[in-house]
Amino acid sequence: MASAAAQDAAEQLLHLKLAFLAGEPPTCVLALARKAGGGSVTPHVQSFLLESCIGTDVEGRQNCTYTTTILKRIISEVELSSDVVIDELYEEFAQRMLSKAKDSVLNRADHIYKEISFLSSTHDDISPRLVSVVARLSCSSNMLEGDTGCSLWPSSLFLSEFILSYPKVFAQKSCFELGSGVGLVGVCLNYVGASKVILTDGDASTLTNMKENMELNNLCIEREDSKPLKESTNKVECKYLSWEEVSESDLWGYQPDIVLGADIIYDPVCVPHLVRVLLMLLRRQHIREVETKEKTGDEFITEATVAYIATVVRNVDTFDCFAKAAADAKLSVVNITSSAAPSNFLPYMLSYDRSSVQLLKVTLLS
């Protein structure tokens, strides 16, 4: 009984740490701090925040404004409840208020460094859930100012969980993502052993940020001159791709097994171009030499090129526009959200509404 309580306490503290490193909203971090303290932010939890969260920033990547806001909210919470605020917390807050944050590429005022940690999908009563993969990302700190491509969206989290839940589907497969944004999906594809990962985006600044994120995660980037940045078994390509301008010949060198996209159905003006690109990529089916294997019964294993799109339906008319355009292009669009529900690898991300995301499987009609 005591060991179970200790394990639960350790897991709550782990969730608090991961939420802080993921740049979760201060309200969410505060809620987890409260939960870890059994209803209040105890001195023990305050010390943990200082030592295991804020104190881990040895490379100076944490956003100073974010960290200061967390400290302020924690101190206010404790003072309002008439509990004890440890001296070290006051001192850390005072130092951050008095000192000027040193700007760097990863600590710009408009960007925030995040570490998205995916926990293992299985655990028992003895061992706590362990972190299976960590994605290090530079993201926009304000998606309302038009920097949407550098923001982290629920659909990319959901698609990443899907990849980690069904690793055999993507292992040794050539994967091509549309609208890759910060590159989170690419990190997960590399982790499960995709043979090739092509990340694309139609915004130049987003593409630059994406390449920096791949380097942050020590992934091999193929540059325009085809010289790899670092030696790696899984190469990642980051390419500029405008849906409006791309032609069949531009995609001739790519023969993806799987096409992916997260939150790419957002604008009715872009829908026809998106469907056209999907059609071109799904047509890139090529003759593959398939070794005779025992059937696994996995419904996702297929030799035909398939697309998986995670999306939040914010506007029904836009989604209906996509469905109609896909049908006219002889594409099959099937909602597999229920049948292929991924495991919850991100239990500490309270801001992440998994229920809002739908997963679509898109194929060519035979």
Taking CA atoms, 333 is separated from 12, 158, 219, 259, in Å, by 40, 18, 32, 13
Residue 170 is inside which H or E element, if any?
helix 167-170
Taking residues 292-309, report their average pLDDT.
64
Q: What is the mean pLDDT of residues 340-354?
A: 96
Mean per-residue pLDDT of the chain:
85
Dig out the tokens for 340 from the structure.
């292929």
The yes-or-no verdict on residue 308 having pLDDT over 60 is yes
pLDDT band with cut points at 50, 70 and 90 for residue 2: low
* pLDDT digit string, tens, across residues 225-250: 444 434 344 479 999 999 999 999 89
How are strands ordered across the β-sheet holding 196-201? 220-222, 235-240, 196-201, 174-178, 258-262, 306-312, 357-364, 331-335
Give pLDDT, residue 122. 60
Asked whether the predicted pLDDT for residue 295 surpasses 50, the reply is no
Q: pLDDT grade, residue 304 (50/70/90)? A: confident
pLDDT given for residue 285 in this prediction: 62
Quote the Cα angle for 258-260-265, to 5°: 145
**pTM, 2 dp:** 0.87
Query: For residue 108, is pLDDT > 60?
Result: no
What are the residues whose beta carbons fall under 8 Å from the beta carbon of 95, sequence distance 6 or more? none
Q: CA 52, 58, 60 angle in degrees (round to 5)?
A: 115
Q: Is 77 exposed, middle or buried (0-12, 13-18, 19+ CB in 10 A)?
A: middle
Q: How far is CA 192 from the centre of its chain?
A: 14
Least confident stretch, 39-48, 139-148, 185-194: 139-148
Does the pLDDT at position 357 exceed 60?
Answer: yes
